[in-house]
Amino acid sequence: MKKHGILNRELAGHFAKLGHTDRIVIADCGLPIPEGVPCIDLAYKLGLPSFLSILEVVLDDLVVETSIAAKEVQQKNEPVATKLARTLSDISYVTHEEFKELTKQTKLIIRTGETTPYANVILQCGVIF
């Protein structure tokens, strides 16, 4: 039994398979899930778990070198935009439509119960050395 880190066995298994430059998505409950991309659905109630709580746990477990968010988050969801800017050192922004297209090339989508607009991020894995 694990003492710390990601306890969800499915999520931990996916993380163990990630390599440098692989990408994952942390998504709100409304983001479309592309065909063929595995999705771990953590949502159990509207708003829970929150996007920010899952982001924090994932960032404790993964090395992230870059990230991408929809630029609309900056105008429509200030709390999430502020947290992303403060937490992620290398973040770029694309339109929400471009963001949805980029999710098609990711290794995994983690669906939260988040219900605020544009609470989504693509995280690109780095290396530990």
Positions marked active-site? 20
**Contact between 88 and 65 (Cβ < 8 Å):** no
Q: Would you call 86 exposed, middle or buried from its count of C-beta atoms within 10 A (0-12, 13-18, 19+)?
A: exposed
CA 99 to chain centre: 12
